[in-house]
Structure 1
Amino acid sequence: MAEQKTGRVYTAKVRRQAVAALSEGAGHRALASKLGIPDATARQWARAYAVGGRAAVLNAGTRHRVYPFELKLSAVKDRLENGMTVREVMVKHGIPSESSIKTWCRQYRERGPEALVNKPRGVKPKHLREE
């Protein structure tokens, strides 16, 4: 099944097959077996589907989402202080990315709440650069 993957990105066909299986109630193990994908990928897609439905699986990684500081902090506290599972946090806060939650938790443990503040992206305008 080498045609399934192009680099590290699965084709739209494989993602559509995953959505069809998930909509019929397949679990992540059955999904991995049926499509010949890693169990971790199937688990991630199943969680994303539970949070964001069809679009969360089909459009995963197509755009960068920026989440407000308050949402990130609330998600981290639910995970670390309230003992919620990653899936529970994803569903409660509507975050389709498991990796985002794990990254925020790691950053919070290492550097505290200020690590969750959104930083400007891209190239600084010339007048703001140090030379």
Structure 2
Amino acid sequence: MYGKEVRERAIEILDAGAGHRALAAKLGIPEATARQWARAYAAGGKDAVLNAGARHRVYEYDVKLAVARDRVERGKTVREVMIKYNVPSESSVKAWCRLYRAKGAAALVDKPRGRKPRSQKEQ
């Protein structure tokens, strides 16, 4: 939604030590967006802000489980676990925590995607 120029300016502002509220005010963007960018920047640096959503990263089960446990059981903040485990996506962290709370550790196991292969009998 926001172009490269806006994101580059955001990096300059974050580099200068500004927080998400100052970032939002200077760029005229919603505070929620500024907060996501600030967290992504803290976890993954400038590339995390410039390339947000451009590529889909796949995380190992152990990383997802550790993130969820630190957040849910140990009370760490979203920002803390993003930085600790180098996960620049706030939405991924929140989704893993929702799954973990609802269905436990087994819910974090990747499931096969796509169509099931047709059996020999169906062909």
If the length of structure 2 is used for normalisation, what is the TM-score?
A: 0.92
1:69 counterpart = 2:39: no
Matches for 1:77-88 after TM superposition, within 5 Å:
77-88=69-80
Shift, 1:110, TM fit: 1.1
Shift, 1:112, TM fit: 1.2
User: 1: distance between equivalents of 2:110 and 2:27?
Assistant: 37
1:40 counterpart = 2:54: no
What is the CA deviation profile of residues 41-67 of structure 1, one whole-angstrom value per residue up to 9, with x for unaligned ones? 001100110111110000000011110
* Residue type at the aligned position of 1:88: E
User: 2: distance between equivalents of 1:120 and 1:12?
Assistant: 34
* Residue type at the aligned position of 2:102: E
User: 2: distance between equivalents of 1:11 and 1:70?
Assistant: 34
User: 1: distance between equivalents of 2:50 and 2:119?
Assistant: 41
User: 2: distance between equivalents of 1:48 and 1:127?
Assistant: 44
Q: Match of 1:90?
A: 82
Shift, 1:98, TM fit: 1.0
1:20 counterpart = 2:12: yes
1:99 counterpart = 2:91: yes
User: 1: distance between equivalents of 2:81 and 2:90?
Assistant: 9
Report if the CA contact (8 A) 2:72-2:101 is conserved: no
User: 1: distance between equivalents of 2:24 and 2:94?
Assistant: 22
Higher RCO (C-alpha under 8 Å, 6+ residues apart): 2
Report how many aligned residue pairs link the two structures.
Answer: 122
Shift, 1:24, TM fit: 1.2
List gaps (5 residues or longer) in structure 1.
1-8
List gaps (5 residues or longer) in structure 2.
none
RMSD: 1.7
